[in-house]
Amino acid sequence: MSAQAKTTGQLINGLVHLRQKVAKMQTTATKRRSSADIPQTRVSSFPALADALIAQCSKLGVDDLMEVILASAADLVNADHGFFYVYDADADALELKRAFGCSGEHIGYRLEQGAGLAGKVLRTGKPMVVNDYQSWEGHHPDPRWSQIRAAIALPLSFDGQVIGALGLAHTEEGKTFGKEDMAALSRFSALASIVLLNETVCAQVQHELTERKQIWEELQRRNNHLNETFIATINALATTIEMKDPYTAAHQRWVTRLVCAIAGEMNLAQQQIEGLRMAGLIHDIGKMNVPAELLLKPRRLTEIEYEAIKIHPQSGYDIVKEIRFPWPIAQIVLQHHERMDGSGYPQGISGTEILPEARLLAVADVVESMSSHRPYRDAHGIDIALDEIARNSGILYDPEAVEACLGVFKDKGFKFE
């Protein structure tokens, strides 16, 4: 389990446990109305205050929530001065985040551990009451705090994690903080710690999600730009072939259409189909290294001439292998003349040694080549081409690709037009 998930779970359990304790306290107080330790009115108001604070935590940001916590605590003990320090772990100090009364103008003021009432509370981790603040040896000498007569401060922490310190004060002569104030504020600070930490965690998660969304959007933008670059590169290569051999250029376009239709018939992923489209457009790029007189020869090729033609898959691979496509384009180009029984070229590999995309491209390549006109022969026609792949399904050609190709023509009405 992640630390984030663990913390969230602890917070939820803490809220539930605290609310149960509040309910139990209210029941106990009802039975002991004469108790002098904790007045009934204060215990009765605490569950409503707890519910209100929990409800507010889902509506407010961290800063506004601190304001609500401070105001609620002041109302609980009728204080006319209050401060809310948050612990800065990097500086190992407290920073005044929210205040009212004589501290209201000092937002941002920092206290070291052990300095002042809040600093001592932070260091000891225990609440502290000073009912004669001006005579207390640790009082702040600044005249701006000379109005304070009695003060109380409580640490805000949860499961050992220090959040800060909450403090309240009376400026009226003779007013002090008693046991009932300490008891009420101790319970309140426990609730406030959980609620505030919960809101802080939520704010951190929201910030991280926003950052991740921005990173994702930037990656998407860069990916789109990269895809545009790939497409431009492919089109440039295809255009280069067309300038040398118009037959090859047209062949590549028709093979691309057919292989994408076959892939769609096989329900391949769109990303895989896009890779096939890119490979189809340049699968014969290696013919750029074949003499034009061989490509355009009006008579049947000799065995030696045919061997020269057969270098084009390797040549194509060498041309594109350094381009970092998001698909195995170079390998598809290299393998598109391989056959299932190992009788193909240039490597003579067989079966699953051949990439699935190359096996699909091989079927589309054969069908288009046989059904179309070439300088050295007339077109055989689509029926003969389909018969060729059907008869050699599982022998020369991938059977699934053959089945899909036949379906594309016979059921979907595909045509080279």
Specify the CATH number for the domain of residue 184: 3.30.450.40
Residue 214 within a domain: no
Residue 227 within a domain: no
Residue 363 within a domain: yes
My answer on whether 55 and 119 are in the same domain is: yes
Residue 331, domain CATH: 1.10.3210.10
My answer on whether 190 and 242 are in the same domain is: no
| Residue 393 to residue 231: CA distance in whole angstroms | 33
My answer on whether 178 and 240 are in the same domain is: no
Q: How many CB atoms neighbour CB 254 within 10 A?
A: 19
My answer on whether 136 and 237 are in the same domain is: no
Return the sign of the alpha-carbon dihedral for residues 339, 288, 230, 274: negative
Helix 399-410 × helix 246-265 angle, to 10°: 100
Q: What are phi and psi of 84, to 5 degrees?
A: -135, 105
pLDDT for 313-324, tens place per residue? Answer: 999 999 999 888
Residue with tokens 């590549």: 252
Q: What is the pLDDT of residue 34?
A: 41
My answer on whether 286 and 390 are in the same domain is: yes
Q: Could you tell me which of 403, 391, 13, 63 has the C-alpha nearest to residue 194?
A: 13
Residue 69 within a domain: yes
| Residue 99 to residue 167: CA distance in whole angstroms | 9
My answer on whether 253 and 360 are in the same domain is: yes
Q: What is the pLDDT of residue 47?
A: 53
Residue 284 within a domain: yes
Q: What is the pLDDT of residue 300?
A: 83
My answer on whether 304 and 400 are in the same domain is: yes
Give me the number of domains the chain comprises: 2
Strand ranges (DSSP E) for 206-327? none
The sheet with strand 110-112 has its strands ordered as 110-112, 93-100, 81-88, 161-170, 150-158, 128-130
| Residue 311 to residue 297: CA distance in whole angstroms | 17
My answer on whether 272 and 354 are in the same domain is: yes
The list of the chain residues with pLDDT below 70 reads 1-63, 102-106, 108, 114, 141-144, 158-161, 196-207
Residue 207 within a domain: no
pLDDT for 215-229, tens place per residue? Answer: 888 888 887 787 788
- CA separation (Å) from 328 to 242, 384, 389, 407? 23, 31, 25, 26
Do the beta carbons of residue 347 and residue 310 sit within 8 Å? no
Last residue of a domain, one of 186, 202, 218: 202
My answer on whether 191 and 290 are in the same domain is: no
My answer on whether 193 and 268 are in the same domain is: no
Domain that holds residue 236: 232-410
Do the beta carbons of residue 279 and residue 327 sit within 8 Å? yes
Residue 89 within a domain: yes
pTM for the full predicted model = 0.52
My answer on whether 58 and 197 are in the same domain is: yes
Do the beta carbons of residue 402 and residue 359 sit within 8 Å? no
Residue 375 within a domain: yes
Do the beta carbons of residue 63 and residue 99 sit within 8 Å? no
My answer on whether 311 and 244 are in the same domain is: yes
